[in-house]
Amino acid sequence: MGAAAAIAFAREGADVAINYYPNEEADAQDVAGHISNAGRKAILIPGDLRDEAFCKELVAKAVSDLGGLDILVCNAARQQTRASILDIPSEDFDATMKTNIYAPFWIIKAALPHLAPGAAIIATSSEQAYDPSPDLYDYAQTKAATTNYVKSLAKQLASRGIRVNGVAPGPIWTPLQVSGGATQSKLKQFGSTTPMGRPGQPAELASIYVQLAAADASYATGQIYGASGGAGQP
């Protein structure tokens, strides 16, 4: 979803800085190619968002290389399926919290001094915030927290002219599912219970991120926009 959103922003005229794990360099270069093909600048910043110092460096480099910052999208997430709370090691729980909750906290704090009136912060929540699956105990609660911080921060920053909104995907095909985020049996039926009867593709919600950053969405803040194939949440 992050790749699709980055490419969509570039096609609408934005220069884009993207973060990724160092071992995802090939994927990052592919996204950068699409951004370049759109005639925009791509800044690649590898690193681990679970590290506070790196989050500060990430923002500083993005501001320096882009010449400023107008839009901040917090999209990175960690999701691992566990049948029982008893199966979640504290190390895994900590990694999920640091990726999904601490990282946007650190990044937003670092970015705020650079955001002027008219800027937009966009978070990525999930249908899990509203209808949590039993095997996503830790991930689901981070998405509920994401939805909450969108609403809280929107009220806090409204007087500064900075809008804060979120996107809540339903079943979307992403690396989260095939890298431990779902069991094999669950993958076979992934998205089949939606009214559309299928999962969505990242490109099918990329335009929501773009719209939430657009000037003509200037009265939308503290909102969560869903893309769940008709499932009705949020």
pLDDT in tens, 198-209: 888 899 999 999
Strand stretches in the chain, DSSP E: 16-20, 42-46, 71-74, 120-124, 163-169, 224-227
Per-residue pLDDT tens digits for 98-129: 999 999 999 999 999 999 999 999 999 999 99
Higher pLDDT, 54 or 197: 54
pLDDT value at position 234?
A: 67
Which token pair is 59?
Answer: 């923002």
Residues 139, 149, 209, 225: which is the catalytic one?
Answer: 139
Among 6-20, 70-84, 131-145, 192-206, which is the least confidently predicted range? Answer: 192-206
Cα diameter, the chain: 50
- Model confidence band, residue 176 (pLDDT cutoffs 50, 70, 90): low
Q: How far is CA 100 from CA 73, 135, 207, 213, in A?
A: 13, 17, 22, 21
Per-residue pLDDT tens digits for 41-90: 999 999 999 999 999 999 999 999 999 999 999 999 999 999 999 999 99
* DSSP 3-state percent helix, strand, coil across the chain (nearest 5): 50, 15, 35
Amino acid at residue number 182:
A
* Catalytic site includes residue 139: yes
Q: How far is CA 230 from CA 10, 61, 133, 165, in A?
A: 28, 39, 18, 20
What value does the mean pLDDT take over residues 153-165? Answer: 98
pLDDT for residue 1 is more than 70: yes
Burial of 2 per CB tally in 10 Å (0-12, 13-18, 19+): buried
DSSP code at position 116: P
Give me the percent of the chain exceeding a pLDDT of 90: 81
Higher pLDDT, 175 or 84: 84
Identify the architecture of domain 47-227 in CATH. Answer: 3-Layer(aba) Sandwich (3.40)
Domain locations in the chain as residue ranges: 47-227
Average pLDDT over the chain reads: 93
CA 18 to chain centre: 12
